Amino acid sequence: MEIFNHDSNIHFLGMRKYTIAIAIFLMIASIGLIAVKGLNYGLDFTGGVSMTVDYDQSVEISDVRAALDKGGIHNAMVQSLGGTREVSIRMQTKDVSAAADAAGKVNLERVATNVAKVLQAARPDAKLKNPEFISAEVGAELRSDGTVAAVFVILGIMAYLWIRFERRFAIAAVFTEVHDTLVTLGILALVQREFDMTVLASVLAVIGYSINDKVVVFDRIRELFRLARKAEPEEILNRSINNTLSRTIITSLFTGITMGALYFYGGTAVHGFAVTMLIGIVVGTLSSIFVASPILLWLGVSKKDLMPVTRDNPELARRP
């Protein structure tokens, strides 16, 4: 199954000055957005109040949200807990500041009483349980752990590609992975979409998805370098992108369709994950086509870098 002819010859490398310039601009702009506007951290990272509500009869999530809004409790995160009669309600500290005591500490009992009163005004069968306070210190630790996880993933990818291919491929991959991650986070900062644990998981998934595309292109580059006798590096890199273009587009398209289905039918709990993945898929696909190979060319990758070592193995010497 192909969208583009396998032997098409679109000159992607001819646009490398512009594509690299755009990539660098997007990275700088993303860093600026994250520094100035910041990420809109959710309750997982900022701390707040969490509680569970049981109903005797089935309840719609939209009805619970409407009841909270009507009672003056805004921006609460309402999620189903696997059934139709139990929901989770979470509110950030800033949204329950009115229930703080003289010392500025959130009065959990007062918050729970207010929420119960509001919900029972709309549905008398609402029963609140398990109110708990999530401290900001826990959120700060989660942010730190998430950053460390992302760094370890990128370094692990670099080590893997250094071993499987060659150091230039590892350097190109790390640059594009940093680019994809920063641009994805920059877009989230621009639109101020809530950044919670599901979004963090999605960012890590974007890193893995993005490298998958690049490994396919890198593998084709290595194959063509070993088969070609006189072709120049630019020609090999360009042909590799063209050969894998259909596969790249089809994979991204169907993954995007899956994320779209997850967004529309998976419920609000996975909206952040789906949206972040969609952003990452678009950014990662474009960087695989327009950024990774130009960096390889700039780093000076050549045929001899990818030829098998023949000093101690006569069998390898007969390979093309």
Domain limits, the chain: 12-40+138-317, 48-134
Q: Are 246 and 1 in contact (CB under 8 A)?
A: yes
Q: Comparing 12-40+138-317 with 48-134, is the CATH topology the same? A: no
CA distance 214 to 292: 7
Backbone angles phi and psi of 123, in degrees to 5? -140, 105
Query: Over the chain, what is the mean pLDDT?
Result: 83
CA distance 22 to 65: 42
Each residue of 232-257: pLDDT tens digit?
888 888 998 998 888 889 989 999 99
CA distance 217 to 82: 41
Backbone angles phi and psi of 11, in degrees to 5? -85, 75
CA distance 276 to 234: 33
CA distance 48 to 302: 55
pLDDT at 85: 84
pLDDT at 316: 45
Q: What percent of the chain has a predicted confidence (pLDDT) above 90?
A: 22
Q: Would you give the end-to-end CA distance of the chain in angstroms? A: 29
* Token output for 7: 């032997």
pLDDT at 191: 92
As a whole number, mean pLDDT of residues 295-300 equals 88
CATH of 48-134, one of 3.50.50.60, 3.40.50.720, 3.30.70.3400, 3.10.20.740: 3.30.70.3400
CA distance 212 to 288: 9
Instruction: Give the residue with greater pLDDT, 190 vs 134.
Output: 190
CB atoms within 10 A of CB 140: 14
Each residue of 268-280: pLDDT tens digit?
778 889 999 999 9
CA distance 90 to 69: 14
CA distance 74 to 61: 14
Q: Is the pTM of this model over 0.75?
A: yes
Given pLDDT bands bounded at 50, 70 and 90, which one contains residue 185?
A: very high
Q: Are 56 and 125 in contact (CB under 8 A)?
A: yes
Each residue of 31-51: pLDDT tens digit?
999 999 998 888 778 778 888
What architecture is domain 12-40+138-317?
Up-down Bundle (1.20)
Backbone angles phi and psi of 232, in degrees to 5? -80, 155
3-state SS class at 107: coil
Each residue of 193-207: pLDDT tens digit?
888 888 998 998 988
Nearest to 196 by CA among 266, 275, 97: 275
pLDDT at 61 over 80: yes
Q: How far is CA 126 from the centre of its chain?
A: 37
DSSP code at position 231: -
CA distance 30 to 187: 7
